[in-house]
Amino acid sequence: MILALVRNTVFTVGILFLLAFFWFNIQAINLTEHERFINDARLLKAGYASLNQDVLKVRYGLVNHYDELNKSLNILLTLLENLKQFPHFLTATETMQLAHHLEEQQTSVKQKKQLLESFKSLDSSYKSSFTYFPALINELTLKLSQRKNSLLVTASLEQLLRDVLRYDNSPNEALKHTVESTMGELEGLLLDSHTNDTTQGTADDVNRLHQQVQLILENKPALDAQLQELVTLPADYYTEPLFMAYSDYYQQARERVTTYQYYFTGLLLTSLLIVISFTSFKFRTYQRGAQQAHHQFQQLFEHSQEGFFQRTGDGRYLLVNPALARIFGFDSPTALIHAFSKGYQRYVAPEQLSDIIHLLKKQNSAEKIESQIYRKDGSTAWIRENIHAVRDTNGDLLYYQGTVENISECKQLEDTLHQEKQLTDRLLTTVLPIPIANQVKAGKQAVAQYVEESTILFADLVGFTNLTNRLPPQEFVDLLNQIFNTFDKLAEAYRLEKIKTIGDAYMVAGGVLTTRRDHAQAIADIALDMRDAVRQFRAVIGENFDVRIGIHTGAVVSGVIGTKRFNYDIWGETVNIASQMESTGLAGCIQVSETTYQLLRQEYLFTSRGILDLKGKTKTQGYLLKNKKWQVVQNRQSA
């Protein structure tokens, strides 16, 4: 499954990558960039034409400055630089070819700017000479007007001026030769010794005139040559190759875009077909799965042991399954729905239905609701319901849907377990004192305690064992049980702790589990009542037995021992002394130790038994408890 997921993911990513690649190449031609490049190329062509016009204006003297010419050259450089921002759809090779064209033109324009500076200097010198030359002719004409050959000189000077003007307009070798010939003739006339007059013309005048003529003849061709270099070829000569190359590259880019469009369209259609096929396959698969799931749900719905229902908010049942009908004791779901529609009282507690509806309206669900119901035959059963609200996308209630489980057996088992638990608790409290029993029931380990002062009583039925030879076993046990039950009631009445019974011996303690100041008095009181009770039993049955009781007060340790059979007990020297007080006592008497006697002597009557020799202990004084003092009894009764 993971391999198929990886394969499908790689395939999908590959398709998306190719689609993105083709789409990127389809969008490669940016019409804004294309239009900008074409407009800049057209402006370049216009710039070259403007440059030619400005050169011709300078050449023919229509303008006397070079500002427009400089401006045209700067515009060309700017346009050439802008054209280097090539559209992005051009390939690297195409970009290099166009850049080569533009760099050649940039070089040519820069050379023209340098040539313009040289031309400006030469043109300035030439214009100075050419402007001065007519003035010089006029000056010499006036100066030489008094010469004998003045007519010839004036005619020669006028001819020279005309020849120079013609040479300026159209310089060529023939005109140059004519100007030189005219100058030669003029020099001959001016320097003729027969007509020479130092006041009317000198060799200096001839030299000045000759110098100006030579400057014009020499500078004019050079100036025209530089001006010719400034005059560019027609604008199409520079821009047409650029236009043609760019048009070819643009057409190739369009063809590439068209190819990528075919690829993109084909891949997109193929992908759509794959997606449609895959979706159709999945849909059929899901449809089959849905049908199988519906069939399984139908089987589960029909054969489930758990009840199922759908009910509207107004109480009308839409759907129930056979299991729910069986729970209510009906033969079919239809019969159950019909009974519900007729107001069938399903819950034993009449308010249960309204409580459930209130809970559903409040929190949209009711979980683990246990109720007792009436079945069709009138019997009752216990059910557990789980109900939740089903709503549409707007939050409006469609219906309530729930499951119902028959928990009658569970309830019966719970009742049985509860009764057994109560019995166990009662048995535990008969074995252990109630506070200790509560600790054990809570799962806590009973904590051993050290009790600094408590009073312990041992009671032994003297001569009772001999009854086993004269009484049937059941009568013997019943009699012993009656005596000990009487002792138990007395212990409960005086709030004392029964510790245990051993054979026909009974042990009770005061002040062990609960601290009390009158523990010795309570033990003394129960001892007197136990003595009287045994005497009553003896009188009733007419048998010869009695009770011997021993009491001692002191510190003890209490606790629970055992894991399978609990046993609450107390230990310590106090217990041993109390036991010996009983064993060394007299039948029908209550023997107490010196310690207990000191606690009771103000309220009870005693007789001394003298010194007692106890096991493991030095000799001690013993006393026999007779009864309460009458003034004490009267005081208690009056109180």
Among 262-266, 433-437, 554-558, the range scoring the smallest mean pLDDT is 433-437
Please answer whether residues 526 and 412 qualify as being in contact, where contact means their C-beta atoms are separated by less than 8 angstroms. Answer: no
Average pLDDT over the chain, rounded to an integer? 82
Alpha-carbon span 190 to 144, nearest angstrom: 9
Average pLDDT over residues 529-553: 94
Please answer whether residues 402 and 387 qualify as being in contact, where contact means their C-beta atoms are separated by less than 8 angstroms. Answer: yes
Average pLDDT over residues 488-496: 95
Per-residue pLDDT at 136 exceeds 50: yes
Per-residue pLDDT at 499 exceeds 80: yes
Among 65-79, 402-416, 454-468, the range scoring the smallest mean pLDDT is 65-79
Please answer whether residues 179 and 164 qualify as being in contact, where contact means their C-beta atoms are separated by less than 8 angstroms. Answer: yes
The model's confidence at residue 200, banded by pLDDT at 50, 70 and 90, is very low
- pLDDT value of residue 320: 87
Which residue did the predictor score with more confidence, 62 or 392?
392
- pLDDT value of residue 428: 63
Please answer whether residues 75 and 47 qualify as being in contact, where contact means their C-beta atoms are separated by less than 8 angstroms. Answer: yes
Per-residue pLDDT at 24 exceeds 80: no
Which residue did the predictor score with more confidence, 233 or 182?
182
Residue given tokens 């400055």 in the structure block: 65
The model's confidence at residue 54, banded by pLDDT at 50, 70 and 90, is confident
Read out DSSP for 417-443? HHHHHHHHHHHHHHHS-HHHHHHHHTT
- pLDDT value of residue 531: 96
Q: Which of 86-90, 171-175, 374-378, 497-501 has the highest mean pLDDT?
A: 497-501
Please answer whether residues 113 and 72 qualify as being in contact, where contact means their C-beta atoms are separated by less than 8 angstroms. Answer: no
The model's confidence at residue 234, banded by pLDDT at 50, 70 and 90, is low
- Whether pTM > 0.85 for this model: the answer is no
Kindly state the percentage of the chain with pLDDT values over 90. 22
- pLDDT value of residue 583: 93
Q: What is the pLDDT of residues 573-597, one digit of tens each?
A: 999 999 999 999 999 999 999 999 9
Q: What is the pLDDT of residues 204-221, one digit of tens each?
A: 777 888 888 887 777 777
The model's confidence at residue 487, banded by pLDDT at 50, 70 and 90, is very high
Average pLDDT over residues 349-363: 83
The model's confidence at residue 150, banded by pLDDT at 50, 70 and 90, is confident
Per-residue pLDDT at 239 exceeds 60: yes
Among 213-222, 235-244, 515-524, the range scoring the smallest mean pLDDT is 235-244
Per-residue pLDDT at 290 exceeds 70: no
Average pLDDT over residues 445-459: 87
Q: Which of 154-158, 337-341, 442-446, 588-592 has the highest mean pLDDT?
A: 588-592
Alpha-carbon span 4 to 423, nearest angstrom: 64
3-state secondary structure (DSSP) of residue 575 = helix
Please answer whether residues 516 and 510 qualify as being in contact, where contact means their C-beta atoms are separated by less than 8 angstroms. Answer: yes
Average pLDDT over residues 29-54: 80
Alpha-carbon span 403 to 362, nearest angstrom: 19
Among 145-154, 234-243, 277-286, 295-304, the range scoring the smallest mean pLDDT is 295-304
- pLDDT value of residue 199: 43
The model's confidence at residue 510, banded by pLDDT at 50, 70 and 90, is very high
Query: Given the DSSP bridges, would you call strands 590-593 and 546-561 parallel, antiparallel or unpaired?
Result: parallel
Which residue did the predictor score with more confidence, 294 or 420?
420
Provide the token pair at 442.
Answer: 């809570």
Kindly state the percentage of the chain with pLDDT values over 70. 87
